[in-house]
Amino acid sequence: MCGFVGFVDFKEDVSKNKNILERMNKTLIRRGPDEEGYYIDKHIGLAHKRLIVVDPDGGKQPRLEKFSFGTYVIAYNGQLYNTKELKEVLVGNGFSITTHSDTEILLKSYIHYGKDVVNHLNGVFAFVIWDTNKNELFLARDHFGIKPFYYTFVQNTFIFASEIKGMLTYPGVKRIIDEQGVSELFGIGPAHTPGTTVFKDIYEVKPAHMGVFNNSGLHLKRYWKLESKEHTDNLSQTCEHLKFLLQDSITRQLISDKPLCTFLSGGLDSSIISKFVSDYHKEKGLPPLDTYSIDYVDNDKNFVKSDFQPNSDAFYIDLMNKHLYNNHHKIVIDTPELADNLEDAMIARDMPGMADIDSSLLLFCKNVKKDMTVSLTGECADEIFGGYPWFFRKDALESNTFPWSISIKERQEILNPLIGAKVNLKDYINYRYNESLEEVEILDSDSKETAEKRKISHLTLNWFMQTLLDRSDRMAMYNGFEIRVPFCDYRLAEYVWNIPWEWKSLKGREKGLLRYVCKDFLPSEIVDRKKSPYPKTHNPTYLAKVKGMLSTIMEDKNAPINSLLNRDYILNILKTEGKSVTRPWFGQLMTGPQLMAYLCQVNMWLERYEPRIEL
């Protein structure tokens, strides 16, 4: 896992701009702390920062391959999980493979398949390939956008990077927030509309998109999507195929030349991953699997049960440890650390995010990184299998908006009245919501419930899951650490997409089918445990800390947050210690203290990134 930056200009000689390329690349040092590399020619500059996971010597980038018919150069961020199959095809077609790096496999697969290469890849990836013969740049991003890819233009120059910060050092790239940017930030945020960013004229390559940049411009197109079709397997066949897909996906993702572990919360999803990997270690005669969990100082004393967080993790983690071939490690975070790392979490995202939900993962990865480089997690099972409360709650299903973000009135009220008079968040949210639903394909054979759940699944997969995948990538890679998500295998998602909802919610349970599939190899307490989200701190010292931070910001009437947001509204949040916030701002956990922390992040972002507001 790594990061890359670059620029292409067909009208100017960019070979003299290596100093610009170096400045851009320097911004990604946390994504790739181990190595860097450069390729620069008349029309292109490419730079790479590398986190070494596989083949230390053979995976250096940018990688260049010369053939009689042309020269190709690749910069790549990701990991392929089907290198074995690809290698067999390449060798069978006369290619010589000199490393065991997937970078070589990917580049030569492109040379073999051409632009159709994306239809032969199983993995996570964002990459560019420069064809010196055609004077053309090919680019692609993985099926679910697990690896990031951003771009912009300055006159004729196409500029791209793994993170937005990689482009902001390029001369002429402007930091402008227009009406759409404000709407994204406060209407959609911390999610975002696929393809957009909060900055005007800075875009992302959408998930499952590929394209070329050549003399005629940038040409992007979608190469994959979830297709609705009739599910023909019976329940028994469905369960067996799910077991195969799960085991295959997890096993494929164990490739690493660096220490590998799993995250274990005691929930269904992380327990499935840990059980499979633990059994693999035992069968192969490997040392016990290292598993890691997160908790917070005095959380056991202060835990408060809620609909969204019905129980704590400790009991279930201990239970799973009795059923695993593992060495378990418990990382305990203190509340001041969560608040102190809000700014780093914001910098990692290049925008305000999920407050301490972000900073806690950042700190978790920082601690695990001391001994490990790669971890498998249970992320994305809830999106794929229907595990969130909004798949079942009437108020969410009937909200006619994104069900994890139904507090639209509050979002409008938090804007500075002068800005609120120009920006109608409700209209923007409605537009994006309906635009997304138009993409859903409903079958005539779908039951009413399956049709309804296709819609909410589509929204969850394309919006909420993307936000969590962004979080996982940025918080982990900020520490030079790699997170893998086996539940997000596109083959698994394709298969589950068409399973009738009545089976997915077997026995009326969230992830009912997944529970049923796993009942024979997990403890019943784990199988039956109610969905519980990523753990947050319940320690009251966190509320006191973020309240103090936000109060200090609000005491400064020149603080940039006052020009963007409603000062009186924020002061009321402080006065009530967040109790005026009755519903989560986003997801399941962003209530009073988290909203205060989010507002602190907004001010930090305004101070550090200095965007110009143009309405």
CB atoms within 10 A of CB 33: 16
Q: What is the mean pLDDT of residues 419-445?
A: 96
Q: Angle formed by the axes of helices 425-437 and 448-459, to 10°?
A: 120
- State the Cα–Cα distance between residues 375 and 253, nearest whole angstrom: 10
Q: Is the pLDDT of residue 302 over 70?
A: no
Q: What is the mean pLDDT of residues 42-47?
A: 98
- The identity of residue 398, as a single letter, is E
pLDDT of residue 335: 86
pLDDT of residue 285: 97
pLDDT of residue 309: 52
Q: Is the pLDDT of residue 537 over 80?
A: no
pLDDT of residue 55: 79
From 276-285, 468-477, 582-591, the region with the lowest mean pLDDT: 582-591
Q: Is the pLDDT of residue 305 over 80?
A: no
- State the Cα–Cα distance between residues 479 and 288, nearest whole angstrom: 25
> Helix %, strand %, coil % for the chain, to 5?
45, 20, 40
206 DSSP assignment:
P
Q: What is the mean pLDDT of residues 210-229?
A: 97
Confidence category of residue 364, pLDDT binned at 50, 70, 90: very high
Report the largest interatomic distance among the alpha carbons of the chain, rounded to a whole angstrom.
72
Q: What is the mean pLDDT of residues 164-191?
A: 97
- State the Cα–Cα distance between residues 368 and 231, nearest whole angstrom: 41
Q: What is the mean pLDDT of residues 74-92?
A: 97
pLDDT of residue 510: 94
Confidence category of residue 578, pLDDT binned at 50, 70, 90: confident
From 223-237, 326-340, 378-392, 523-537, the region with the lowest mean pLDDT: 523-537
Q: What is the mean pLDDT of residues 34-57?
A: 93
pLDDT of residue 104: 97
Tell me the pLDDT tens digit for each residue of 540-562.
888 899 999 999 999 998 999 99
Query: What's the whole-number average pLDDT of the chain?
Result: 94
Q: Is the pLDDT of residue 101 over 60?
A: yes
Q: What is the mean pLDDT of residues 278-285?
A: 97
Domain boundaries, the chain: 2-222, 235-402+432-528
Q: What is the mean pLDDT of residues 187-216?
A: 97
Residue 534's nearest CA partner among 265, 263, 299 is 265
Q: What are phi and psi of 31, to 5 degrees?
A: -70, -35
Question: Domain 2-222 adopts which CATH fold?
Answer: Glutamine Phosphoribosylpyrophosphate, subunit 1, domain 1 (3.60.20)
Q: What are phi and psi of 152, to 5 degrees?
A: -160, 180
Q: What is the mean pLDDT of residues 458-487?
A: 97
- State the Cα–Cα distance between residues 73 and 66, nearest whole angstrom: 9
Token pair in block for residue 574: 């402080």
pLDDT of residue 35: 93
Q: What percent of the chain has pLDDT over 70?
A: 96
User: What residue has token string 């793994």?
Assistant: 162
pLDDT of residue 303: 56
Token pair in block for residue 470: 């962004």
Q: Catalytic residue, from 2, 488, 518, 600: name it.
A: 2
**2 given a catalytic annotation:** yes
Q: What percent of the chain has pLDDT over 90?
A: 85
Q: What is the mean pLDDT of residues 62-83?
A: 94
- State the Cα–Cα distance between residues 365 and 480, nearest whole angstrom: 9
487 DSSP assignment:
G
Name, in order, each residue with C-beta under 8 angstroms of 384's C-beta and a sequence gap of 6 or more: 461, 487, 488, 492, 493, 496
Strand arrangement of the beta sheet that strand 44-50 belongs to: 35-40, 44-50, 2-8, 157-161, 150-154, 202-204
Residue 411's nearest CA partner among 574, 190, 607 is 190
Token pair in block for residue 154: 């300055």
Residue 385's nearest CA partner among 269, 467, 272 is 269
Q: What is the mean pLDDT of residues 475-502?
A: 97
pLDDT of residue 54: 86
- State the Cα–Cα distance between residues 170 and 509, nearest whole angstrom: 51
pLDDT of residue 288: 98
pLDDT of residue 612: 96
The DSSP H or E segment spanning 366 is: helix 356-368
Q: What is the mean pLDDT of residues 124-139?
A: 97
Q: Is the pLDDT of residue 162 over 70?
A: yes
Q: Is the pLDDT of residue 396 over 70?
A: yes
- CA dist 131 to 14, 113, 118, 213, 218, Å? 16, 14, 17, 11, 15
Higher pLDDT, 454 or 394: 454
Q: What is the mean pLDDT of residues 569-575?
A: 92
134 DSSP assignment:
T
Q: Positive or negative, the Cα torsion across 252, 256, 259, 265?
A: negative
Q: Is the pLDDT of residue 202 over 60?
A: yes
pLDDT of residue 461: 97
252 and 376 Cβ atoms separated by less than 8 Å: no
530 and 387 Cβ atoms separated by less than 8 Å: no
CB atoms within 10 A of CB 227: 9
44 and 8 Cβ atoms separated by less than 8 Å: yes
Q: What is the mean pLDDT of residues 64-83?
A: 94
Q: Is the pLDDT of residue 148 over 90?
A: yes
Name, in order, each residue with C-beta under 8 angstroms of 552's C-beta and a sequence gap of 6 or more: none
User: What residue has token string 């492109």?
Assistant: 110
Question: Domain 235-402+432-528 adopts which CATH fold?
Answer: Rossmann fold (3.40.50)
